[in-house]
Amino acid sequence: MQKAILLIDYLNVSQKALNNFSHQGDKAIDISFKDQGISNLKAPFTGTIKRIYDKVNVVWLQSNEKVMYADGTIDYMTIMTMHDNDVRDLYVGKIIKQGEVYYQEGTKGNATGNHIHLSVGKGKFTGNGWYENSSGNWCINNQYDVHKALFLDNSTTILNSGGYNWIRSSTQNEDTTNTTTYKVVKNDNLTNIAKKYSTTVDELVRLNNIQNKNLIKVGQALKVPNKLNYFKKYTGNSLSIVDALKSIGELSTYDYRGKIASINGINNYKGTSTENTKLLNLLKNGSLIKP
């Protein structure tokens, strides 16, 4: 499972969400970069382009698999970007890998100065991708706070955070999937292996850096996702991960929480409020993996 990461060299939030200007009622933010030039945005996850609206070069990119949000949510994610001056290299159905440059800041449409209008939708792409709100602004469907959805890469220099508490990721390509090894046997192909392990061909290709998905060899060792076990969903009101675990009859010691954190993508667990909140959110969503 990938973390969804805002992969840019410099962060300059030039317009916040839900303000009284063009973002009224809209959780989108405008991001600029170091200067007035044209800078690149890399894909925050491996995904597929679902729609392009060329009047202002709006592009919707949906994750191919569920991803980890910065606040601990596990779900599909759709991001919408606007104002790139030229998107002729993009098309609906194109797969973009995490870390691949696919969008640039620009001024296409009603934009002042080079920037990217960026918004996040929780879940898969739905409908035509957006709706017009009561203020006349076009918002992504199922809009979600950008800073709660996207980690910020450790290498990004913050020029203006917008006042948001961005959560740094430990590494761009960190894989939080719990995997085991499978050896290819005669008559195997990625489709039947994916079915056996309740995953997808794209995920197997990503996990194993496979260049030709139609070419695997007998005896080849492949990483495959474990069939994961999850904790029972917590439905109480406690703000404590310790109390929440106890209430569902689970061990809640510090050492055990460290094991839980590790398998859920939180390395070097220290028991901080931020870490515990992530674990609690996963438990509430029914998506906290058991070690």
Q: Are residues 29 and 118 in contact, defined by beta-carbon separation less than 8 angstroms? A: yes
More confident residue, 25 or 177: 25
Q: Say whether pLDDT at 172 is over 50.
A: no
CB neighbours of residue 101 within 10 Å? 12
Q: Give the integer Cα–Cα distance in Å for 46 and 287.
A: 21
- At residue 227, the pLDDT reads 66
Confidence tier at 178 by pLDDT (50, 70, 90): low
Q: Give the residue-averaged pLDDT of 75-93.
A: 95
Label residue 1 by pLDDT band (50, 70, 90).
confident
Over 60: is that where the pLDDT of 48 sits?
yes
Dump pLDDT digits (tens) for 225-265: 776 678 899 999 999 999 999 999 999 999 899 989 887 77
**Whole-prediction pTM:** 0.63
Q: Is the pLDDT of residue 37 over 80?
A: no
